[in-house]
Structure 1
Amino acid sequence: MKHNTKKWQASLLCITLCGILTACGSGKESQAEDMKNSETIQINETDMGAQQENGTEEETGGMEENRLIGEQTFEVTLEPLGKVTFASYRPDTQQNPLGDALFEIQEAGGKTTALEGIADNNIRANEIFNKVEAVSFPDYNGDGFSDIIIICNYSPSSGPDVGTGYSEARIYRGNEDGLFTLERELSEVTNSALAEKTVQSVLGFLGAGKQGEAQASDWKQAYIDHLQKQDPEEWQGYQLIYLNDDEIPELVEIGTSEAAGCVIVTYADGMLEETRLGRLNFTYIERSGLLCNSDGNMDRYYDLVYRMENGRLTQIAAGYYGAEDNSRVEFDADGNPVYQYQWNDVQMSQEEYEQKLNAVYDTSKARQGYEWDGWLSREEAAGTVESME
C-alpha cells in the first residue's frame, strides 16, 4: 500500500511538471508572435509616413520646381540688370512629348522673364529634348551688355536617325533695357557652320573679342559663306590645303564625277578666286605655291602646272602625252604603250618630258590633293575653317 502511494505521487508530479512546461512554451510562442506583429506594424507605419511625406512634398513643391535643372541654374550678374537667377527647366513631357526646355531670368524684385523659344509655343516639330549642355553669358558683340548663349541636345522623334543626338546653339542679344532678343538667323547660320557646338566654338564663330582682327575673320567668313551656297549634289566633299606659305588655307571642292572635276578656291584682296581643274586628280607641293593637275583617259593624258601668286593660281606649264589614234595603240617589248610626248608645244621623248616636268615641279616632293573618301563634309569644312587660329 505504501508502495502504491509513492507511485501515485510520482505520477501526479509528472503531470504537474508537464503542465507547467506547456504553459511556458505557449507563453513564449505568444510573446514571439506579439513581437512579430509589433515589428510589422512599426515597419508599415514608417513606410506610410515616408509616403505621406513624399506626397506632401510633391503637392507643395510644384511641377516647375521638380523640372528645374539645377546644374544649369545660376546666380549671375548681367549687364544692365545686376544680380539675377538664370533658371533652366525641363519640358513638361506629360503635356507634350515634343516640348522644349524653358529658360527664365528671375530678378530680385520678383520679376520673371521667360526667354523666347526656338519653336512656336515651345513645341518642337520632330525633336525630343535631351539636356542642356551649356549656358554662357558673354558680351559677344562688345556693346557693353550681357548676351546669352545656350546649347541644348536633341534627338529626332521619328525617322532613320531616331536614337541619335545632336547639339543646337541659340544666341540671345542683350540690350540697354535688360531685354534679350533671340537672334534666329544668326543662330541658324552658326548651327550650319559649326560641326561641333560648344560655347568656345560659337564665340569663335561670332568673332567675340576679335574686332581688331578683321583680316583673319574676313577670309574665314568668306569661306563659310561660300560653303553654305554650295550644292551638295555637285560636290561630294571638301579639303583644306596650304599651297603658299601664309596662314590662309586653300579650299578644295571635290566633284561628284570626273566631268565635274575639282575646284581650288583661294582668297586674295578680300575676294575668293576659283580655278577649275580637269577631272579629279591633282597633287601639290605644300607651301611652295605649286600644284599639278595630272589626269586624262582613253590614251590622252596631261600634266598642267600652276603657281599661286598673290592668292591666285596661274598656269605656268603644260605637258600632254598619249596616242594619236587610241584605236591603234602600239606597244613596246615590255608591253608598255608607245606614246607621243609634248611639253609646252614642243615634241620630245618620254625621258625629256619627265625632265621638263621635274624642272618646274619636283614630283618627288608632291603630295596627293586629298585622300579618297577622306574628305570633309560641307559642315565639317566650315567648322574646321572657323576653329582655325
Structure 2
Amino acid sequence: MEKKIWPKFLMPALIAGCILLSGCAWGGGEGKIDESAQGKGSEEISAEEQALGEEEEAGEGQALTEAQAAEEGWAAEERQAEEGGQSTKFQGADGDFGSGEWPENIIKEQCFEVELDGWGKVTFVSASPVSGKGEAEFFLFKDGKKVYTFPGSRTPQPDEFVEVRAVSFTDYNKDGKKDVIVLASYRNGGSTRSAAEIFLQENADNMFYMDYPDIESYRVEAKSEAGPSFYRDGFLEEYLSAQQYADKISDISGTWTSYMDYVGRLNGFWDTEGQLELLAANRDKWMADVDYANDRYCFTIRDMDYDGQLAVIVANQGGTGNYTYSKFYELDREGNLNELETSFMEGDSQPDIIMDEMTVYNEFSAEGMRDYYIVYDDIKLSPDTYMLRVSSLSVQDDFVLETPLASKTTVYGENGSVISVVSVDCNGNTLTEEEFEDFPETYYGNMGCSRRIEDFFWMDVGSLAGKSDEEIVELLRRVYEQRDG
C-alpha cells in the first residue's frame, strides 16, 4: 500500500496555451474501400484472452527485484550498475587510478564505465566529501580528464558522510534518456539514514516543470558545454525519503509515475488509478450499443494533450463502405466525463483510427507541447475512382482537430489496371507519389517537430459487458498500461 504524506504547500498548475492550425476541408465520398491498409492489424481482445494473466519478463538493465534485493542484501545493491548490463566497474588506466586527473578522495568501488546519451562512453566517478561531512561528489571523466560535475543539493547536507551504497544508470523518468540514481548513507549522532540522489538528464520535451512552476524552484542544474546537463529535483528526493523509498534501488525504479500523481493531486488532479475508476463508473456513457458499422467496436485510453487527464477513444468500423466513426471522451478536473467536440463534419468520411501503431509528430514551444497523430482514410469516390487521404489529429483546448495534409486519387480501368494517379497537398499543389508518401514528414519536419512511432492497444467494447466495476477497472488498466507496447 502506498504510504501517504501531507503536502507542505499547494502549487498552482500552469495551463499551457494552444496554437491553432488552419487547414483544408475534406469532402465526403460515396463509400470507402473495404480493405484499408491503415485499418488492418489491430485485433480486438476476446474475453477469454483478457482472462489470461501475463508475466512481465525482466529486461536487461532493469533494477533488481525486491526479492533479489532482500535475499542478496546491500552487496546486491552495490552490484546494481554492473549486473544491469548498463556499465562495468572501472579500475583506471593502470589498474589503480594512478593515471589521470582523478579526485584524491575517489571511491574506487563506485566508479563505472557507462554509455550516457549525448556523452558517449564515459567514466562515472564517485568521490567522498573532503571534510567528511556533506554529500559525496560525482563526475564524468573521459580519457582521465574531468568533463562534467554533477549538481549538488539545493540545501547543504550537515550530516557525516558514510558511504555510497549503490549506483544505477537507467531511464528513471521515461523520457528516453538515461539518468543516474545514487543511494548514499549519512550519520547523525547514533543514527544512520539512507538518501536517494537522482540526476535527471535535461530534456527539452520535459513539460513537467512547466505544468507545475512551483516545482521549478526545487531544481538544481549543472550546465555543461561538453555534453547534455543533468539536474536534481529536491522535491522528488524529499518525496522519496518521506515515502521510505530510499533504501533500495528496486524501490525507486518505478516511482516516477507515483511522484507525478502525487504532485498532480496537490494541484487538484485525479491520479491515474482514480481516473480509471471514474472511466469505469461512467462506462454507460461511452460504451453505448451501436447498430451500424459495427464489424469492429473498440476503445483505447491515453492522454492526448499532456494535461494529465485521460481520454477514452471509442471507434466503430464496418458497413459496405468500411466506414469508421469515432468519439472522444475526457475527464475534467472535477472528475466529470465529457464528450469532446471534433472538427469532423456530419456526412464526411472520418479517419480510420483503429490502428496498431501511429506515427506521431511532437511540437514543443513556450506555449506547451502538442502531438499530431498521423491518420489515413480510404474513400471510394465512384466505382472506378478511389482516394487515399492523410491528415493529423491533435487535441487543442478540449477540441479534436483534424488537419488535412495530402490526398492521392487513383483511377482504375475495367481490368483493374491503373489509368491515372494524381497526388496533391491540401492546398492543391501537385505532388509526386514519393512526395505524397513523405508529406507528413515534410510538413511537420519543416515545423521542427520530432517524430516517433506510438503503439495503440485496442480492446473490444463488448468484452466489458457483464463485468463488475473492479473487473472493468482492471481491464481499463491493462489497455492504458499497454498503450506503448
Normalized against structure 2, the TM-score is what? Answer: 0.29
- Structure of higher CA gyration radius: 1
Greater relative contact order (CA < 8 Å, ≥ 6 in sequence): 2
- Structure-1-length-normalised TM-score: 0.35
